[in-house]
Amino acid sequence: MAETNQEKSLRVDLSGQVALVTGASQGIGQAIAVTLAANGATVCLLARNKEKLAFVAELITSAGGKSDPMPCDVSQSDAIEKVVETVVQKHGRLDILVNNAGVTRDTLIPRMSNDEWDEVLATNLRAPFLFMRAVSRPMMQQRYGRIVNISSVSGIIGNPGQANYSASKAGLIGLTQTVAKELAGRKITVNAVAPGFIASEMTDAMGPALMDVVKKRVPAKRLGLATEIAEAVAFLASPSAGYITAQTLVVDGGLIG
């Protein structure tokens, strides 16, 4: 379960807004969904695992928030078009899109297969493109929207063993900047958040020795929390961030300087 501390979290007013969060079943996506709901948004939860989505929905509901779990495979283009249409028909609007879903298939470039490359690019880059294309229509009609794409510091500085992942996250930053300039005239902002090392099940599996090495690399001397990424997203998704677009907010404890 993502770490949360709503008592101390950033507060923004998302009352009456509808958000769509991909990869919302765990980790950073779960924290983003919970945070947006805590700030008043109705959050449509997207992921493939129905049971995990139900758990996140219950977290939100038990805290007094509103959510709508929608199982979806973001690698399927038809499913993306359909789920966006469903959100708009069901809730009447769509104000916030957070492209968080992502996968890794790590290996060094000499051993990386075509399938390992294609799978990562399909989920991490093609799916955000498809979602942004789909949501741009209702957002342009209502002349308001916030799109936040979850990139990574790996997309800025690269990371050995992650040619596919780093390429997808670098591409997402370029896509963010371009779409932001296309949609800015309709009061739609498009930004990226680039996390560094964030505490998760994945980092827990690294073991104490490797974790110590990671912490020594980070000037803040600790891993980030999923809630710290979620709060950055909440600000960029809020009405207060209306003059911030085409930007990449790095949240990494000073890792890349």
Residues involved in catalysis: 165
Read off the tokens for 99: 């492209």
Rg, C-alpha atoms of the chain: 17
Residue identified by tokens 């000499």 is 110
Other C-beta atoms lying within 10 Å of the C-beta of residue 62: 8
User: For residues 111 and 9, what is the distance between their CA atoms, to the nearest angstrom?
Assistant: 43
Cα–Cα distance, 22 to 98 (Å, whole number):
6
